[in-house]
């Protein structure tokens, strides 16, 4: 890959569920280091597109390339292993586990368990666990979670839960980070914190970001470019300040009361 190879390239994607066309004719190019916004009203296909990229619902048509490598139709764990991490719209943390344990789970794609490794635990697996732990501790510090590292995630407020999910995704040390509404349910101050963390993750950890977000101020504030969907089709793409003025986008999205 060189600097002009997109980290993510989606070409002519279509995904159907029975007779329903959830996404069709969608193209997207995300360059290394970009923060790219994905917006659209409820049911417009944002999650379906994300699921196509991450392998959960392979597309019926079109190609998906990661840093130039065709990943269309590959299994989710293989795509994760190639450096794609995501957070979920509805939090997917493990209740009953601490913040640290949840973040450690983000390292699982880098762990290589096996009979011999387990048998020779102190010799082989132990150094690996120490290295994994060090990476997690670094991320805990980066996201300012030190004070709650040993707390159960169950009782945390939504803003902190979302931050723990971001930490778990970063623990995988991804090249591409897909964030599905990371600011849903947050107040203004929490939103600003999260926006800062996303910008810092790009600056300090070199990730490229695909950001699904309903808050237009966040999209215009931190995204380099964006794509707007409506009924599974592209209705605008480019620089956020220009796209949000496009009459089709105003009509489809902002007109429906999502312009907070
Ligand atoms: N597994 C599925 N089976 C059947 N239909 C589905 C499935 N997943 C999504 N759909 C349909 O595909 C369309 C696009 O849904 P999708 O969840 O991708 O939209 P979205 O933009 O992410 O919406 P939201 O903002 O509500 O999350 C909707 O009509 C939805 O009902």
CA 212 to chain centre: 8
Of the listed ranges 47-51, 116-120, 184-188, 244-248, the least confidently predicted one is 116-120
Q: Whole-number mean pLDDT of the chain? A: 90
pLDDT tens per residue across span 37-95 = 999 999 999 999 999 999 999 999 999 999 999 999 999 999 999 999 999 877 778 88
Pairwise pLDDT comparison (4 vs 179), residue with the higher score: 179
Which atom from ligand 1 is nearest to the alpha carbon of 89? 27
Long-range contacts: 148-157, Cβ < 8 Å, 24+? 148/99, 149/98, 149/99, 149/100, 150/98, 150/99, 150/100, 151/98, 151/99, 152/95, 152/96, 152/97, 152/98, 153/93, 153/94, 153/95, 153/97, 153/98, 153/99, 153/102, 154/95, 154/96, 156/99
Of residues 260 and 55, more confidence is placed in 55
Alpha-carbon span 85 to 168, nearest angstrom: 9
DSSP-derived secondary structure letter, 47: H
Contact predicate 159/190, CB 8 Å? yes
Query: Three-state SS for 29?
Result: strand
pLDDT at residue number 180 = 94
With pLDDT > 90 as the criterion, what percentage of the chain qualifies? 74
Q: What is the pLDDT of residue 260?
A: 43
Would you call 124 helix, strand, or coil by DSSP?
coil
pLDDT digits (tens, 9 = 90+) for 8-46: 999 999 999 999 999 999 999 999 999 999 999 999 999
Q: Check pocket membership of 134 for ligand 1, CB cut-off 6 A.
A: no
Instruction: Tell which residue, 189, 234, 244, has the closest CA to residue 214.
Output: 244
Alpha carbon of 126 to ligand 1 centroid (Å): 43
Which atom of ligand 1 is the closest one to the Cα of 23? 14
Domains belonging to the chain, first-starting first, are 8-94+158-256 (3.40.50.300)
Q: What is the pLDDT of residues 121-138, one digit of tens each?
A: 556 667 778 888 899 999
Burial readout 146-175 (b: 16 or more C-beta within 10 A, e: otherwise): eebbeebbeebeebbbbbbbbbbbbbbbbb
Please say if the pLDDT value at position 253 is more than 80.
no
Kindly state if the Cβ of 42 falls inside 6 Å of ligand 1: yes
Which tens digits make up the pLDDT trace of 171-206? 999 999 999 999 988 889 999 999 999 999 999 999
The Cα–Cα gap between 240 and 217 comes to 10
Please report the pLDDT score of residue 1 as a whole number: 57
Supply the pTM of this predicted model. 0.91
pLDDT given for residue 4 in this prediction: 85
ipTM score above 0.90: yes
The answer to whether residue 256 scores a pLDDT higher than 60 is no
Distance 252 CA to ligand 1 centre (A): 16
pLDDT at 111 over 90: no
Task: Report residue 259's pLDDT band, with 50, 70 and 90 as the boundaries.
Answer: very low
């Amino acid at each position: 890959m060189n600097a002009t190879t997109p980290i993510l390239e989606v070409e002519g994607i279509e995904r159907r569920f029975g007779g329903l066309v959830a996404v069709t004719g969608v193209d997207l190019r995300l360059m290394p280091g970009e923060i790219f916004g994905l917006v659209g009203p409820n049911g417009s296909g944002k999650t379906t597109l994300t699921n196509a990229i991450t392998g959960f619902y392979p597309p019926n048509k079109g190609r998906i390339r990661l840093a130039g490598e065709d990943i269309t139709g590959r299994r989710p764990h293989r795509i994760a292993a190639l450096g794609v991490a995501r957070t979920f719209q509805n939090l997917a943390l493990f209740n009953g586990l601490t913040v640290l344990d949840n973040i450690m789970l983000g390292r699982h794609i880098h762990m290589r368990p096996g009979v011999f490794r387990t048998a020779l635990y102190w010799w082989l697996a132990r150094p690996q666990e120490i290295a994994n732990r060090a990476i997690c501790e670094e991320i805990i510090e980066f996201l300012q979670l030190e004070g709650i590292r040993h707390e159960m995630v169950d009782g945390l407020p939504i803003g902190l839960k979302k931050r723990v999910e971001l930490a778990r995704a970063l623990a995988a040390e991804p090249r591409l980070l897909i964030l599905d509404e990371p600011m849903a349910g947050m107040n203004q101050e929490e939103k600003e914190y999260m926006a800062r963390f996303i910008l810092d993750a790009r600056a300090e950890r070199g990730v490229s970001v695909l950001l699904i977000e309903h808050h237009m101020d966040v999209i215009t504030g931190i995204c380099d470019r964006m794509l707007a969907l409506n009924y599974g089709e592209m209705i605008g793409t480019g620089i956020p300040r220009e796209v949000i003025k496009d009459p089709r986008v105003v009509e489809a999205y902002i007109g429906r009361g999502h312009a907070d």
